[in-house]
Amino acid sequence: MKPAIQFNRVHKHFGELQALNGIDLTIPQGEFFGLLGPNGAGKSTLINILAGLLKPTYGSASVMGYDVVNDYQAARMALGVVPQELVFDPFFNVREMLRFQAGYFGRGRENDAWVDEILEGLGLTDKAHTNMRKLSGGMKRRALIAQALAHKPPVIVLDEPTAGVDVELRQMLWEFIKKLNRDGHTIVLTTHYLEEAETLCSRVAMMKQGEIVALDSTANLLNKYAGKNLRLDLGGAPLPAPLFSMLKSGEHGVYMLALSHLSQVEFALSELRKANVQIDDMQLIEPDLEDVFMSLVGSASHRNTDSILQS
């Protein structure tokens, strides 16, 4: 069986800027795959190459076995992309937009049953005859997702699909997308909500500066890279200085310590006893995908240790 998506040593240069540096990635059919990384890691460039909006400087990419450059039409027919931006045609209602979108891919009135299924699955049935300009932001997001699915592509790329939307929409969207995946569609998700990737994706690739720095099942990444966390409520007391190197976050006397070994729990307790600091509460917390993400790619957005200790 041909892979749903394949990148072979893909490089992309913008002048002196190297956006992608030799990406090798194979995603089999039917997988729910997560593509994670900080802003500027190369995720959008990779997606744009897949969609035929950019050509790789070197290397090749394919969708369902079709080269995105040499077999552009067939590759694009097999792919549906939900972009981050709210871009839509303001002159049509939702159903008209979906019919036109399907028509661009050669699907006519016989596709109406699928359009109805999309509208129902995304909670858009009662908005089918509403002009796109009159929809709320959340409804426009649903309509753009529907637009990407209108031609019933076997491979679906969701680029930050739930950014800025309410919890109800997120839950409805994921129920529908999980159903599509059970029906055989391949799903590729980029998201900054790491709990989404942890819950939904069977396998994850993490990117940094145009390279894949980790590629494995979610379970293996959690076991391999992330240690446990120790949450300490010290009732407003300061953290003893010997524990600063373990500090992950902290505020108002509640601190999160990163543990690479369970033996560090005893070390932490020993230092607290030496400093005569009383523990109001203590909890050992299992790692999550955010811990893996931070250990591999880091983030400038996290508060530095000095500011934590001063809070």
Output the six-digit token pair for 229.
């966390």
109 vs 112: CA distance, rounded Å: 5
pLDDT in tens, the chain (311 residues): 899 999 999 999 998 899 999 999 999 999 999 998 888 889 999 999 999 999 999 999 999 999 999 999 999 999 999 887 777 777 889 999 999 888 888 887 778 899 999 999 888 899 999 988 888 877 888 888 899 999 999 999 998 887 666 777 788 888 989 999 999 999 999 887 788 888 899 999 989 899 998 888 887 877 776 567 888 999 888 999 999 988 888 888 899 888 877 788 889 999 999 999 999 998 887 766 777 777 777 643 343 333 333 33
How many CB atoms are closer than 10 A to CB 202?
13
DSSP state of 93: B
In this prediction, residue 307 carries a pLDDT of: 35
In this prediction, residue 303 carries a pLDDT of: 35
H or E element that contains 94: helix 94-104
DSSP string, 216-277: EEHHHHHHHH---EEEEE-TTPPPPGGGGGGEEEEETTEEEEE-SSTHHHHHHHHHHHHTTP
28 vs 203: CA distance, rounded Å: 11
The residue with tokens 């500027």 is: 40
In this prediction, residue 306 carries a pLDDT of: 38
In this prediction, residue 84 carries a pLDDT of: 76
Q: What angle do CA 128, 129, 130 make, to 5 degrees?
A: 95
Q: What angle do CA 210, 213, 217 make, to 5 degrees?
A: 125
